[in-house]
Amino acid sequence: MVERRWWKESVVYQIYPRSFNDSNNDGIGDIQGIIEKIDYIKKLGIDVIWLCPIYKSPNVDNGYDISDYRKVMNGFGNLQDLEKLIFEIHNRNMKIIMDLVVNHTSDEHDWFINSKESKDNPYRDYYIWEKGKNENKPSSNWESFFGGSTWTYDEGTDEYYLHLFTEKQPDLNWENPEMRNKIYKIMRWWLNKGIDGFRMDVINMISKDKDFPDGEKGPNDDFGDGTPYFLNGPHLYEYLKEMGEKVLFDYDIMTVGETYKFGWENAVKFAKVGDQDLLNMVFHFELMSVDRHEDNKWVKKEINLKEIKEIYKKWNNKLYNKAWNSIYLGNHDQPRIVSRFGDDQKYRKKSAKMLATMMMTMPGTPFIYQGEEIGMTNVAFQDIGKYRDVETINYYRLQTKKGRPRDEVIKEIHRVSRDNSRTPMQWNDQLNAGFSQSTPWIDLNPNYEEINVEKALKEDDSIFYYYQKLIEIRKNNLALIYGRYETILENNEDIFSYKREYKNKKNLIIINFFSDKINFNLSDEINLNEYSLLISNYGNNSYSNNLIKLRPYESLIFTLS
Ligand code: TEU
Ligand code: CA
Question: DSSP labels for 338-353?
Answer: HHHTS-SSTTHHHHHH
Residue nearest to atom 9 of ligand 1 (CA): 333
- Assess whether the C-beta atom of 482 lies below 6 angstroms from ligand 1: no
- Assess whether the C-beta atom of 145 lies below 6 angstroms from ligand 1: yes
54-82 pLDDT, tens digit per residue, is 999 999 999 999 999 999 999 999 999 99
Q: Is the pLDDT of residue 196 over 80?
A: yes
What's the CA gap between 417 and 345, in Å, rounded? Answer: 19
Looking at the chain, how many residues does it have? Answer: 561
98-148 pLDDT, tens digit per residue, is 999 999 999 999 999 999 999 999 999 999 999 998 778 999 999 999 999
What's the CA gap between 284 and 265, in Å, rounded? Answer: 12
Using CA atoms, how far residue 202 sits from 120, 205, 232, in Å, is 29, 6, 10
> What's the chain's average pLDDT?
96
Per cent of the chain over pLDDT 70 is: 99
Mean pLDDT of 262-278: 94
SS (H, E, C) 405-447: CHHHHHHHHHHHCHHHHCCCCCCCCCHHHHCCCCCCCCCCCHH
What's the confidence (pLDDT) of residue 507?
97
Mean pLDDT of 19-45: 98
Choice among 47, 143, 201, 412 that is catalytic: 201
Which DSSP string corresponds to 354-409? HHHHHHHTSSSEEEEETTGGGT------SSGGG---HHHHHHHHHHHHTT--HHHH
What's the confidence (pLDDT) of residue 523?
79
Instruction: With H, G, I as helix, E, B as strand and everything else as coil, classify residue 137.
Output: strand
What's the confidence (pLDDT) of residue 528?
87
Residue nearest to atom 20 of ligand 1 (CA): 64
What's the confidence (pLDDT) of residue 391?
97
Mean pLDDT of 31-40: 98
Instruction: With H, G, I as helix, E, B as strand and everything else as coil, classify residue 5.
Output: coil
Instruction: With H, G, I as helix, E, B as strand and everything else as coil, classify residue 459.
Output: coil
201 is catalytic: yes
Residue nearest to atom 2 of ligand 1 (CA): 202
Ligand 1 pocket test target in 201, 227, 419 with most atoms within 8 Å of CB: 201
What's the confidence (pLDDT) of residue 547?
86
Mean pLDDT of 461-473: 98
Mean pLDDT of 226-232: 98
- Give the chain's count of helices (H) and strands (E): 16, 25
- Assess whether the C-beta atom of 389 lies below 6 angstroms from ligand 1: no
What's the confidence (pLDDT) of residue 542?
64
483-533 pLDDT, tens digit per residue, is 999 999 999 999 999 999 999 899 999 999 999 999 988 877 788 888 999
Q: At what angle are helices 406-416 and 390-401 packed, to 10 degrees? A: 160
What's the CA gap between 57 and 72, in Å, rounded? Answer: 8
Residue nearest to atom 1 of ligand 1 (CA): 202
- Assess whether the C-beta atom of 12 lies below 6 angstroms from ligand 1: no
Q: Which of 210, 215, 198 is nearest to 257 (CA)?
A: 198
Q: Is the pLDDT of residue 289 over 90?
A: yes
Residue 249's identity, in one-letter code, is F
Residue nearest to atom 7 of ligand 1 (CA): 333
What's the CA gap between 508 and 541, in Å, rounded? Answer: 14
Ligand 1 pocket test target in 145, 262, 419 with most atoms within 8 Å of CB: 145
Q: Which of 151, 139, 50 is nearest to 100 (CA)?
A: 50
**Cβ-contact 222, 143 below 8 angstroms:** yes
- Assess whether the C-beta atom of 168 lies below 6 angstroms from ligand 1: no
Structural domains of the chain in order of their starting residue, each with its CATH number = 12-104+177-470 (3.20.20.80), 110-162 (3.90.400.10), 484-560 (2.60.40.1180)
Choice among 171, 258, 373, 412 that is catalytic: 258
Residue-wise burial string across 305-329, b where 16 or more C-beta atoms lie within 10 A, e elsewhere: beebbeebeebbeebeeebbbbbbb
397-454 pLDDT, tens digit per residue, is 999 999 999 999 999 999 999 999 999 999 999 999 999 999 999 999 999 999 999 9
Q: Is the pLDDT of residue 270 over 70?
A: yes
Exposed (0-12), middle (13-18) or buried (19+): which is 276, by Cβ within 10 Å? exposed
Mean pLDDT of 34-47: 98
Mean pLDDT of 372-390: 98
**Cβ-contact 517, 554 below 8 angstroms:** no
- C-alpha R_g of the chain: 24
516 is catalytic: no
Residue 441's contacts (CB-CB under 8 Å, 6 or more residues apart) are 18, 27, 28, 388
307-350 pLDDT, tens digit per residue, is 999 999 999 999 999 999 999 999 999 999 999 999 999 999 99
